[in-house]
Amino acid sequence: MSTATNTNATKAIIEYDDKSVRQFMLASIIWGLVGMLVGVLIASQMNFRFMNFDTSFLTFGRLRPLHTNAVIFAFVGNMMFAGIYYSTQRLCKARMASDLLSKIHFWGWQFIIVCAAVTLPLGFTRGQEYAELIWPINIMVALIWVVFAVNFFWTLHKRNEPSLYVALWFYIATIVTIAMLYIVNHLSIPTSFTHSYSIWAGVKGALIQWWYGHNAVAFFLTTPILGIMYYFLPKAVERPVYSYRLSIVHFWSLVFIYIWAGPHHLLNTALPMWLQYLGMFFSLMLWAPSWGGMLNGLLTLRGAWDKLRTDPVVKFFIAAITFYGMSTFEGPLLSIRAVNALSHYSDWTIGHVHSGALGWNGLMAAGLFYWLTPRLYGTKLRSVALANFHFWIALVGILFYVAALWIAGIMQGLMLNAVNPEGTALMYPNFLETVQAIWTPLAFRLVGGTLYFVGMIIMAVNLFLTIRSGKAVNEKREVVLLQRGQKDTMPLKETFINDPIAYMLGGMLLVLGFIFLPAHANLASLVCAGIFAVIAVKKFRQSHHAWSHWYEKLLHNYLPFTVLTFVAVVAGGLIQIIPTVVVSKAQNVEDRVQRPYTPLELAGRDIYVSEGCYNCHSQMIRTMLPDVLRYGDYSRLGESIFDHPFQWGSKRTGPDLARVGARRSASWHFNHMRDPESMSAGSLMPRYPWLFEEKFDQKALPGKIAVLAGMGEPYPPKTSDVIKQEAIEQGIKIVEELKKEGLQTTPDMKIVALTAYLLQLGNYDTPKPKDPEANPAVVPFPLKPGNPDVYRSGVKTAAAP
């Protein structure tokens, strides 16, 4: 059959859509400059409080989300699209399927970015990291992502190259996984055009947020860039890729394991232990797959190391891959619970993220753009010397940045965790002392970030001059058109029913048995898994040709490949999230349950979220002695069970607030919000004068409470008038309390609502002793996903009377 088609091979000249590539590239450079400028500004706010300018839309809490979103979705997003559009067309020997979809994709994405840049500084936010954009923008993102997906898969469908190259595998994984993560984590119910409540509360919100947040790093900042590496690096160094089989092993292990690692963002918190352990151990098992990508990149250079001296593109690529290796080593290290006890909430995490973002993403982007621009404009790079200068200033900038935050993070972590030799009191009880101690390293961070930003400007100028010296050209190529039957012929049956898949799934099931089954059954499962693995290896040795052949065939079939990729990425999330989501609230609350907010407190909480307080303050006291001594009794799951969205936080530039209610008075908060330095000399916190001038939104309260009640939270039904009246009555009480200290305000001010919220932080009810029958330990496994924690001897069960 194939010989017949070969004789009638029809050829055609196609013109690649390089215009879209140029557009995405330019957008990436422009947004990159904006995002990094905001980054430099907010870094300066960590050293100089006046850089907040006492202005609402310039405060750290509102600008940090702008920085993270701009760099992730605008800079890396557009860069990724440029790389994907360029390489996919060439790897498919086909023009992008639809020019219209490409246009909608490009302009839609830029419109989303503009919307984000306007709404975030105005305080419109969902209050979850990298998921801050409000719901109308969420819908646009989802729609544009679908447009991108359709355009991409349609191009695969029309391809004239039967087999899928490894770069495309990574693009496929990116598209399906980001769609899944984004949609699930952004499910929310609107209360107005600009505000919504996430449908996930408390621990569910936390678990899903970090399933999303961690894998946004994995599938937005890592897999597409690996795909770009697999196409552009061999092109730049003109060497074959190091190892095809390493590509296979590291691709599938990476996409499968990455998804499990999310809970490592919640170590030592109230999160159930089994999830913490899964997060930690899968992070460690992720180390090798990540390094597989690094090895395949670095070793591709074998035999062409001289290019590292002469070609700036290769310099950028190789440095980027090295940083990828460094941050994927640091990631598992930080996921070890003992290390995390020190590093979590500290600037070490920020440094880690930036060694990935500046080192891996930023340098890959620079290499890509220096390689693309001359080709897209039919000219030569204007100045190799400037590109080399960019390389060195960027490299020095990153090293400054990362080293400074190692010092800052480790120093502050050690100070915060230090207790006296008897272990009875904190060595540095004054939180501010630990913030002031890291002033100098943070200043070096600012210098490093600024150097990197200057490098970006140099690149922009160099590329601008290059573009001016050339003319936009679209590459044309003669391709042999594929006939039907030369690709995409694999039936679904053959996709799923074969030895490799059977062994993989069987092994996985046995490992799940090991994780979830009660004592002894889990051991049996483990032994079976071992035996099964031996059989699988034997079988592979016997018939590895058949297995390779099956995989080669899979590569000729994009839909089955996509389906299998989806199966690999969906597993980890389902296994971790379902047990927590389906469990009834009562089983998640342990011994304490949060009190639902009064209307005024709810209004205050929405202000807390809107001002982005979570960017510096956590609400999660970890089960660690220093945390408990500093902030009070450790947090229980039940204490945030009604929080839409959860506000556990990930960074402590200020102290934890989970129990601040019982520690500070109304007048303290009032003074502190007006001028933090009046209550805490040397504080870095911005002033919030507008909270004393603006009224909180009373009208929205009944609608908001109705939405929360609709989601099952225990808000008693009340009329709108009663709700508004209760809010004002509680406000009057606080105003009177303040008056005793000579402080004047009115009960409808934002500061009053925020104070009401802060005053109740840490309140909880103790639920009545549970019916022993309701103990989850007695629920048989098949009916309810197992919770391994109940199998451990010594784990406390229902509270004793």
Partner 1 sequence: MDNPSPQNSGEPQLRDHVYDGIQEYDQKLPNWWLFTWYITMVWFVIAWLAYYQFGVGRTDHEAIDQALAAISGESQKASNELTDEKLWSMSLDAKTVEAGKVTFTTFCVACHGADLMSKKTHPEIPTLIGLPLADTEWKYGPNPTQVLGIVRKGSPDLTKGMPPWEPALGIRKSAEVVAYILSHHKQGEATTLAPDSPLLNAGTAAPAPAPITAPNPAPTKP
Q: Which of residues 772-801 bind partner 1 (CB under 8 A)?
A: 788, 791-796
Q: 40 vs 743, which CB is nearer to partner 1?
A: 743
Retrieve residue 673's tokens. Answer: 């919000």
Stretch that binds partner 1, among 125-133, 238-246, 352-360, 502-510 (CB under 8 A): 238-246
Q: 37 vs 624, which CB is nearer to partner 1?
A: 624
Return the residue of 98, 160, 268, 725 that touches partner 1, per CB under 8 A.
268
Instruction: Quote the least distance from Cβ 71 to partner 1, whole Å.
Output: 30
Q: 104 vs 743, which CB is nearer to partner 1?
A: 743
Residue with tokens 């091979």: 9
What residues from 398 to 417 belong to the interface with partner 1 (CB under 8 A)?
none
* C-alpha dist (Å) from residue 434 to 280, 415, 568, 621, 779: 28, 6, 43, 18, 47
Q: 188 vs 683, which CB is nearer to partner 1?
A: 683
244 binds partner 1 (CB under 8 A): yes
Q: 468 vs 549, which CB is nearer to partner 1?
A: 549
Q: Is 594 helix (H, G, I), strand (E, B) or coil?
A: strand
Write the CB contacts of 5 (distance below 8 Å, at least 6 apart in sequence): 483, 485, 486
Write the CB contacts of 107 (distance below 8 Å, at least 6 apart in sequence): none
d(C-alpha 79, C-alpha 25), whole Å: 6
* C-alpha dist (Å) from residue 83 to 212, 372, 721: 23, 9, 56
d(C-alpha 665, C-alpha 740), whole Å: 12
Cβ proximity of 93 and 159 under 8 Å: yes
Stretch that binds partner 1, among 105-113, 152-160, 288-296, 725-733 (CB under 8 A): 288-296
Give strand ranges (E) for 40-198.
188-190, 196-198
Q: 140 vs 304, which CB is nearer to partner 1?
A: 304
2 binds partner 1 (CB under 8 A): no
693 binds partner 1 (CB under 8 A): no
What residues from 194 to 233 belong to the interface with partner 1 (CB under 8 A)?
231
Write the CB contacts of 249 (distance below 8 Å, at least 6 apart in sequence): 289, 292
536 binds partner 1 (CB under 8 A): no
Per-residue burial over 20-55, b if 16 or more Cβ lie within 10 Å, else e, is bbbbbbbbbbbbbbbbbebbebbbbbbeebebbeee
Strands 476-480 and 593-594: unpaired
Return the residue of 146, 183, 246, 326 that touches partner 1, per CB under 8 A.
246
Helices of type H across 713-800: 720-740, 750-760
Cβ proximity of 568 and 176 under 8 Å: no
Instruction: Quote the least distance from Cβ 600 to partner 1, whole Å.
Output: 14
Return the residue of 514, 597, 614, 715 that touches partner 1, per CB under 8 A.
514
Instruction: Quote the least distance from Cβ 565 to partner 1, whole Å.
Output: 19
CB-CB neighbours of 341 under 10 Å: 17
Return the residue of 546, 570, 706, 779 that touches partner 1, per CB under 8 A.
546
Q: 309 vs 681, which CB is nearer to partner 1?
A: 681
Q: 472 vs 523, which CB is nearer to partner 1?
A: 523
Sequence letter at residue 641: I
Instruction: Quote the least distance from Cβ 542 to partner 1, whole Å.
Output: 6
383 binds partner 1 (CB under 8 A): no
What residues from 726 to 745 belong to the interface with partner 1 (CB under 8 A)?
737, 741-743
Q: 310 vs 766, which CB is nearer to partner 1?
A: 766
Q: Residue 43: how many CA atoms within 13 Å on its side-chain side?
A: 28
426 binds partner 1 (CB under 8 A): yes
For the four alpha carbons of 678, 679, 684 and 689, in that order, the dihedral sign comes to negative
Q: What angle do CA 758, 763, 766 make, to 5 degrees?
A: 170
Cβ proximity of 74 and 135 under 8 Å: no
* C-alpha dist (Å) from residue 401 to 217, 439, 449, 616, 697: 19, 14, 6, 19, 41
Instruction: Quote the least distance from Cβ 297 to partner 1, whole Å.
Output: 13
Site string for partner 1, 554-593 (x = CB under 8 A): ----------------------------------------
Instruction: Quote the least distance from Cβ 361 to partner 1, whole Å.
Output: 22
What residues from 673 to 692 belong to the interface with partner 1 (CB under 8 A)?
678-681
As a whole number of Å, the end-to-end CA separation of the chain is: 78
Instruction: Specify burial of residue 487 (Cβ count, 10 A radius: 0-12, 13-18, 19+).
Output: buried
425 binds partner 1 (CB under 8 A): yes
Q: Is 486 helix (H, G, I), strand (E, B) or coil?
A: coil
Q: 79 vs 91, which CB is nearer to partner 1?
A: 91
What residues from 603 to 642 belong to the interface with partner 1 (CB under 8 A)?
623-625, 628-630, 632, 634
Q: What angle do CA 351, 357, 375 make, to 5 degrees?
A: 155
Q: 17 vs 161, which CB is nearer to partner 1?
A: 161
Q: 131 vs 666, which CB is nearer to partner 1?
A: 666
234 binds partner 1 (CB under 8 A): yes
Return the residue of 247, 450, 615, 787 that touches partner 1, per CB under 8 A.
247
498 binds partner 1 (CB under 8 A): no
What residues from 706 to 725 belong to the interface with partner 1 (CB under 8 A)?
none
Q: 130 vs 281, which CB is nearer to partner 1?
A: 281
Return the residue of 14, 34, 37, 295 that touches partner 1, per CB under 8 A.
295
Return the residue of 115, 299, 567, 586 that touches partner 1, per CB under 8 A.
299
Stated as kind and residue range, the H or E segment containing 15 is strand 11-15
Q: 358 vs 529, which CB is nearer to partner 1?
A: 529
424 binds partner 1 (CB under 8 A): yes
Instruction: Quote the least distance from Cβ 371 to partner 1, whole Å.
Output: 14
d(C-alpha 285, C-alpha 277), whole Å: 12
Tell me how far the alpha carbon of residue 643 is from its chain's centroid: 20
Residue with tokens 């990631």: 331
What residues from 656 to 675 belong to the interface with partner 1 (CB under 8 A)?
661-668, 671
What residues from 36 to 95 belong to the interface with partner 1 (CB under 8 A)?
90-91, 93
768 binds partner 1 (CB under 8 A): no
Sequence letter at residue 202: G
Q: 303 vs 710, which CB is nearer to partner 1?
A: 303
d(C-alpha 67, C-alpha 567), whole Å: 33
Q: 199 vs 257, which CB is nearer to partner 1?
A: 257
Stretch that binds partner 1, among 132-140, 186-194, 384-392, 516-524 (CB under 8 A): 516-524
What residues from 142 to 201 belong to the interface with partner 1 (CB under 8 A)?
161, 163, 165-166
Instruction: Quote the least distance from Cβ 670 to partner 1, whole Å.
Output: 8
Return the residue of 154, 281, 439, 496 that touches partner 1, per CB under 8 A.
281
Cβ proximity of 478 and 546 under 8 Å: no
CB-CB neighbours of 316 under 10 Å: 27
Instruction: Quote the least distance from Cβ 64 to partner 1, whole Å.
Output: 27
For partner 1 (CB under 8 A), the number of binding residues is 90
Instruction: Quote the least distance from Cβ 482 to partner 1, whole Å.
Output: 14
